[in-house]
Amino acid sequence: MSPSEPNFAAGVPWQRVFDQASAALAVLDLQGRYLYVNEAMCRLLGYRREELEGLDYRKVTHPEDIDQEGPVESPEPLEKRYIRSDGSVIWALVARSFIRDSHGRAVYFLSQIQDITRRREAELLWQRSFANAPIGMAVLDLKGAWTAVNDTLCDTLGYTREELLSMSFTDVTYEDDEEQGMAALADLVAGEVDSTSVEKRYRHKEGHPIWMLIRATTVPGADGTPAYVVSQYEDIGEQRLVDAHLAHLALHDPLTGLANRALLADRLDHGLQQLARGDGVLAVVLADLDQLKPVNDRYGHALGDQLLIATAQELQLAVRAGDTVARIGGDEFVVVSLLPDEDAAQALRDRVEQHLNTKVTVQGVQIGLGASVGCATTSDPSIAPDMLLHAADRDMYVSKRSRREGRGGR
């Protein structure tokens, strides 16, 4: 019997197994002609058995995937495209092995073919989505090293692909933000979360900071544990500036830039919380300008606004860096400070009074800045903030009355 004419007689046990196999199987001669195909192979390519048997496999292979040297045994499965009877193209994973005679000589080829079209389409979709995404994308290993990056991320950070693939995300992270990023990665690797988002700064290759919103998701391996991480990177620098500006407007007086009532309430609460953790007193100094209405009446409100700005500047010169200075009304200002004792609080009140009872030059006009100042202190962290403000207000009115009486007596 010739090697090219195998005996595939009906009833041979291996043939029944061959025919009933769910995988597409084919036996080819050494020149590449199909000698026997099973039903799964026929369904895969859309041909009848009699159309395939005797046909050179190159006739149903995509022209770009034809191996000119003919079929060869491959230690690893290869991916290739087939053309079906209706002209459609499918991707297949092909495993080839020799069928040998009793002397070990190769006499036939056995091809095992698996349709992987959907998998390849999914891979192509992922590859194109990854490559063409309008935001940065990357794949990282579980230690944080980039294993794949798209062009957008390279352009955002100013590095070439080769440079980024030799780096870990920590190499471009600002030191103050590194702990946050490592903690997020640790949670992902430990399986505590499937995805996470962080905002932090990356350093551009040229040295300037870039605020990034990073969304990271783990992809599990065969054992269900995280195998790698897919991350998306969005430059939010401009948005952060907008958000910071809006947050500033919500908590600050638009004219003077000082804290407004909302921020003052927060700082009072914070001061009382700090008071509960240690010794000291919380001081509230309240000042009311005496000259704002006369200045508005004489010079106009524009110059009156400049007087308020000058008052804010004088107050900031009178306090420490950690103190809160607020404008809570047209001509009322408040200072909040956590101090070691009553003497320090009195010294703060005196400094405020000194700075608000002086002469200032506003738009070329010299004006005598005058203010009535009151002060209240507490060492009780349970006091209501409004009560503390009210006490300072009462003390301020005592000061105002004294000033009026003093002027009247001269």
Q: What was the pLDDT predicted at 369?
A: 81
How many other CB atoms are found less than 10 A from the CB of residue 171?
15
Phi and psi, residue 229, nearest 5°: -125, 135
Q: In the structure, what pLDDT confidence band is assigned to residue 13 with cuts at 50, 70 and 90? A: low
Q: In the structure, what pLDDT confidence band is assigned to residue 1 with cuts at 50, 70 and 90? A: very low
Task: Determine the average pLDDT of the residues in 386-391.
Answer: 94
CA distance 324 to 344: 16
How many other CB atoms are found less than 10 A from the CB of residue 298?
12
Domain layout of the chain by residue ranges: 13-118, 133-236, 252-405
Q: Which of 240, 159, 140, 135 is nearest to 207 (CA)?
A: 159
Q: CATH topology of 133-236 equal to that of 252-405?
A: no
DSSP string, 73-132: --SS-EEEEEE-TTS-EEEEEEEEEEEE-TTS-EEEEEEEEEE-HHHHHHHHHHHHHHHH
Which tokens in the block code for residue 32?
């590449």
Angle 5-8-12 (CA atoms, 0-180°, nearest 5)? 150
Task: Determine the average pLDDT of the residues in 139-151.
Answer: 95
CATH architecture under which domain 133-236 falls: 2-Layer Sandwich (3.30)
- 324-340 pLDDT, tens digit each: 999 998 889 999 999 99
Pair 312, 356: CB distance under 8 Å: no
Judged against a pLDDT cut of 80, whether residue 320 lies above it is answered with yes
CA distances from residue 29 to 23, 26, 59, 224 in whole angstroms, order as listed: 20, 10, 15, 43
For residue 276, the SS3 value is: helix
Q: What was the pLDDT predicted at 4?
A: 45
Q: What was the pLDDT predicted at 207?
A: 84
Q: Which of 333, 369, 358, 361 is nearest to 253 (CA)?
A: 333
Judged against a pLDDT cut of 70, whether residue 150 lies above it is answered with yes
CA distance 144 to 167: 9
Strand pairing of 106-115 and 136-140? Answer: unpaired
- 266-289 pLDDT, tens digit each: 889 988 988 888 779 999 999 998
Q: What was the pLDDT predicted at 2?
A: 44
Share of the chain above pLDDT 70, in %: 92
Is the domain spanning 13-118 CATH 3.75.10.10? The answer is: no
Judged against a pLDDT cut of 70, whether residue 228 lies above it is answered with yes
Task: Determine the average pLDDT of the residues in 106-131.
Answer: 92
User: In the predicted model, what is the mean pLDDT of the chain?
Assistant: 87
Task: Determine the average pLDDT of the residues in 40-59.
Answer: 95
Which tokens in the block code for residue 130?
């990854």
Please tell me the pTM assigned to this model: 0.52
Pair 116, 92: CB distance under 8 Å: yes
Q: Which of 401, 389, 349, 343 is nearest to 373 (CA)?
A: 349
- 233-257 pLDDT, tens digit each: 998 876 666 665 666 677 888 899 8
Strand pairing of 24-28 and 34-37? Answer: antiparallel
Pair 109, 97: CB distance under 8 Å: yes
**Homologous superfamily of domain range 252-405:** Reverse transcriptase/Diguanylate cyclase domain (3.30.70.270)
- Range of weakest confidence among 279-288, 291-300, 311-320, 364-373: 291-300
CA distance 341 to 280: 5
Question: Which of 176-204 are b and which e, b meaning 16 or more Cβ less than 10 Å from the residue's Cβ?
Answer: ebeeebeebbebbbeeeeeebebebbbbe
Q: Across 70-84, 136-150, 296-310, 361-375, which has the greatest mean pLDDT?
A: 136-150
Judged against a pLDDT cut of 90, whether residue 42 lies above it is answered with yes
How many other CB atoms are found less than 10 A from the CB of residue 260?
17
Share of the chain above pLDDT 90, in %: 55
Task: Determine the average pLDDT of the residues in 210-221.
Answer: 92
For residue 283, the SS3 value is: strand
Q: How many CA atoms lie within 13 A of 284 on its CB side?
A: 30
